[in-house]
Amino acid sequence: MDIMDYLKEHENKDMLRFLTCGSVDDGKSTLIGRMLYDAKMIFDDQLAAAKSESKKYGTTGESIDMALLVDGLQSEREQGITIDVAYRFFATDNRKFIIADTPGHEQYTRNMVTGASTADVAIILIDARKGILTQTRRHSFIVNLLGIEHIIIAINKMDLVNFSEETFNTIKASYADLAKELGIPHTYYIPVSALNGDNVVESSTSTPWYQGKPLLGLLDSMDIAKVAKEEDFRFPVQYVNRPNLDFRGFCGTIASGSVKVGDSITVLPSGKSSKVKSIINAGDTSEAYMDITTKEAYAPMAITLTTEDEIDISRGDMIVHSNNLPRVSNSLKVMLVWMDDKVMEVGRNYDIKRATSVISGSFTHINYKIDVNTYKRTEVDSLALNDIASCKMILTQPIASDAYSDNRLTGAFIVVDRISNNTVGAGMIIGVSRRDEDVNKLATKVYNDAEKGLNSYIRTHFPEWNCKKI
Amino acid sequence: MLSQERLTHLKQLEAESIHILREVVAEFSNPVMMYSVGKDSSVMLHLAMKAFAPAKLPFPMLHVDTLWKFKEMIAFRDQRAKDLDFELIVHSNPEGIEMNISPFEHGSKTHTDIMKTQALKQALNAGGYDAIIGGARRDEEKSRAKERIFSFRDKHHRWDPKNQRPELWNIYNTATDKGESVRVFPISNWTELDIWQYIYLEDIKIPSLYFAKEQEVVEYEGTKIRVDDERMPKALRDTAKKETVRFRTLGCYPLTGAIASSATTLPEIIQEMLLSTSSEREGRVIDKDQEGAMELKKIEGYF
């Protein structure tokens, strides 16, 4: 193909992010290494490095250990495991792929949650000799919890069960029960051998009974378009751009839906309304034309909006269509994944970052903790690392929010410890209360100028007090 | 129906990068963007201009000048600063200048440590920046694949690969205490091919060193390097031959390997890249020092 045709074709590629779940023994790194290798994404020098490392750490004898093409940190290579989330990239003529490669052991649940948060599709590896294991239940629960609707079940090591169709079908049937139990909407099953490349990039001659596509072909063609709530326009205000007195633009990334010039909009939580005056799609601007405007914009464009009226809008607010308002409340029912060694204490104050807003809040009650392996619910008083629980969250100010199942970007939040500054938890909004709770007790005080001045003085001159900005 | 499907992968990557850049400016009081003058920096600068249009860049661009960069890079840098009217900060390690550090004499390891890693620390300490925006990509090298987009650094600019903050959705934890900082990598999810395609589509200016032309090169430590000035030892300079070459990455000229090429346009560069059998970093001498070299350098504070 001529290079100009190639460029033309590749201008119109789309993007798919997927997650691979499995433990070191399932051949997950081997599968990814195989995909990159067979898709010709591995360069000669990288292959040479993997060859020399294979002799040192490899587990495959004389042949190249595909896993070493992808296992990144030196400490991991020595231990032969993947301990963190690694992101890898490759492309076909249709799509660019971003792989989140995460560890599968229970102690790394938080890493898998992290990888799953941005993925559209999950690949769950099952060892054909072992079938569905506790970890399969765990991985499936987590990817479903994080809202991934498409799950590919790669039944690996088919070479070790003589490519038996019966084995494949038995595993497929038992996974279908699991998918039903969890309510996973779309499942796909593929018999593979990552080690030898069967049904990874090329269809295998060893599985004539399998009529489906090989893994790469499936990833390349699957339809991941969301039918979810496209009509809900949600625009979390990220930054107020005010280069001069004549221009006041509200920058942000459209979380869902679309917006047009002239649309009636409402700012939440204040409830003030106006109309869209102009839209700058950052993607359209160029060095020569920095003020180019557009009539309409849609998710996930990064845009700048201006409004007809001078209304007070700041970072953390959400702009929505006036005829399609999300619920506003400070009382939320959430699913919380705890990610820190220090336990989550009921009633303790944390900073909750949801989209672009940071508001302090606390978990006032743990409804139940859910076991990721058995899905059993238990009552607990605190949460430890990797615990997943349904909780009641009360914020010091109300926010406009959607359920995570309706909107992945406005229904998700992270929990930041106010002393260590670490990200200690991640949560998904399940439901929003109709009324504010304890709002009088918890509502943020309105500060006068003298109080604001004092706060600013302390922050400037006594930074070691770690005084919070009001 | 309007949907995500209508945005191409490059438009999605662009929107993600702009979101990250705006998050930095909204959350930090004293951000800076590293400017290395190369293609990735050129893309970052372009993205930053877009993110804040119609305003000017709301942060300065910082160039750590090792004093061994290609001459053309310096001229290009100054012209961009003039044309786009951004604040440019240039820093070179004064101790290194005094010691007259030369990659030819002191070796790549010492040169990089003093003129790059130490110089960077000096510049960052002097500026007191709380967010440092860099152009690293996750596809560049294995240890980078696990780097966060917002990567926390302690008071000594050190990176702890085993103790990184979880990073979920597009929600970035920007909390730091005084003296600590965050390194931010807005183009983490771009590949080398994405970068080139974007430069081509958006018509982004890049130094001409990326394009093939006949120039004087010598064989040095297993790579071909350009005779860029008189500081190259005379014995080496005497071996110079004219060859048609170009550079896949730009850095210190004694440490940047040229590749034989006839690509004089962006489509030709992209075509060459697609047919290439060696990775971008192969031209960089520093990675070969030892296995896991980049990981060790990053722990020490190298970008």
Confidence band for A89, pLDDT divided at 50, 70 and 90: confident
Same domain, yes or no: B242 and B160: no
Give the Cα separation of B168 and A17 in Å (integer).
14
Distance CA(A389)–CA(A116), nearest Å, equals: 17
Q: Are residues B184 and B223 in the same domain?
A: no
Contact of A233 with A400, CB cutoff 8 Å:
no
Left, alpha or beta for A76 (phi > 0: left; psi -120 to 50: alpha)? alpha
Interface residue B163 vs chain A (CB under 8 A):
no
Distance (Å, rounded) from C-alpha B268 to C-alpha B135?
Answer: 24
Query: What value does the mean pLDDT of chain A take?
Result: 87
Can you tell me whether residue A252 is helix, strand or coil? strand
- Pick A418 or B301 by higher pLDDT: A418
The answer to whether residue B156 scores a pLDDT higher than 60 is yes
Assess whether B44 and B144 both reside in one domain.
Answer: yes
Query: For the residues A63-68, what does the mean pLDDT come to?
Result: 62
CATH number of the domain enclosing B168: 3.40.50.620
Q: Are residues B137 and B216 in the same domain?
A: no
Q: Is residue B102 part of a domain?
A: yes
Domain A3-221 has CATH 3.40.50.300: yes
Closest-CA distance, A164 to chain B, in angstroms, reads 36
Domain membership of residue B164 (yes or no) is: yes
Q: What is the ipTM score, two decimals? A: 0.88
Among the listed residues A98, A468, A316, A413, the one whose alpha carbon sits nearest the alpha carbon of residue B166: A413
Using CA coordinates, name the residue in chain B closest to A236: B19
A250 pLDDT higher than 90 = yes
The predicted-structure confidence for A314-335, as pLDDT tens digits, reads as follows 999 999 999 999 999 999 999 9
* Predicted pLDDT of residue B295: 52
User: What's the pLDDT at A55?
Assistant: 59
Same domain, yes or no: B267 and B185: no
Q: Is B2 among the domain residues?
A: no
Q: Mean of the per-residue pLDDT values for chain B?
A: 88
Q: B236 and B125, same structural domain?
A: no
Q: Name the region of B4 (left: φ>0; alpha: ψ -120 to 50; beta: rest).
A: alpha
B56/B156 same-domain check: yes
Domain span holding position B132: 8-194+293-300
DSSP count for chain B of H helices, then E strands: 10, 10
List chain A residues with CB under 8 Å of B21: none
- CA-based Rg of chain A, rounded to a whole angstrom? 25
Asked if pLDDT for residue A147 goes beyond 60, the answer is yes
B234 within some domain: yes
Pick from A7, A85, A239: CB nearest B22: A239
Is the per-residue pLDDT at A1 higher than 50? yes
Q: Are residues B189 and B213 in the same domain?
A: no
pLDDT band at B22 (very low <50, low <70, confident <90, very high): very high
Q: Is B203 inside a domain boundary?
A: no
pLDDT digits (tens, 9 = 90+) for A390-403: 999 999 999 999 99
Confidence of residue A437 (pLDDT cuts 50, 70, 90): low
- In a domain, residue B200? The reply is no
For residue B244, tell me if it sits in a domain.
yes
Indicate whether B153 and B49 sit together in one domain.
yes
User: Nearest CA to CA, how far is B166 from chain A (Å)?
Assistant: 6
Whether B170 shows a pLDDT value over 80: the answer reads yes
Instruction: Give the per-residue pLDDT at A51.
Output: 62
Segment B267-272 shows an average pLDDT of 90
The CATH classification number of A234-321 equals 2.40.30.10
Q: Are residues B190 and B215 located together in one domain of the fold?
A: no
Q: Nearest-CA neighbor of A71 among A60, A62, A81, A57?
A: A81
Let me know if A262 is exposed, middle or buried by CB neighbors in 10 A (0-12, 13-18, 19+).
Answer: exposed
Do B118 and B264 belong together in one domain?
A: no
CATH number for the region A327-437 comes to 2.40.30.10
Question: Which residues of chain A make contact with B16, given a CB cutoff of 8 A?
Answer: 300
- B67 and B153 part of one domain: yes
Q: Which residue has the higher pLDDT, A142 or A6?
A: A142
Q: Which of A44, A98, A421 sits opposite B177 (nearest CB)?
A: A421
Q: Is the pLDDT of residue A81 over 50?
A: no
Q: What percent of chain B stands above pLDDT 90?
A: 74
Does the residue B179 lie in any domain? yes
Mean pLDDT of B139-164: 82
The mean pLDDT value for B44-68 works out to 96
Q: What is the pLDDT of residue B4?
A: 44
Higher-pLDDT residue of A439, A468: A468
φ, ψ (nearest 5 deg) of residue A422: -75, 155
Residues of chain A within CATH 2.40.30.10 domain(s) are 234-321, 327-437
Q: What is the pLDDT of residue B294?
A: 52
Residue B283: pLDDT over 50 = no
The answer, yes or no, to whether residue A149 has pLDDT greater than 90, is yes
What would the two tokens of residue A378 be? 């238990």
Question: Residue A276: what pLDDT?
Answer: 97
Identify from A248, A292, A423 which residue to disrupt to test chain B contact, counting B C-beta atoms within 10 A and taking the largest count: A423
Count how many domains chain B has: 2
pLDDT tens digits along A14-33: 899 999 987 666 778 788 88
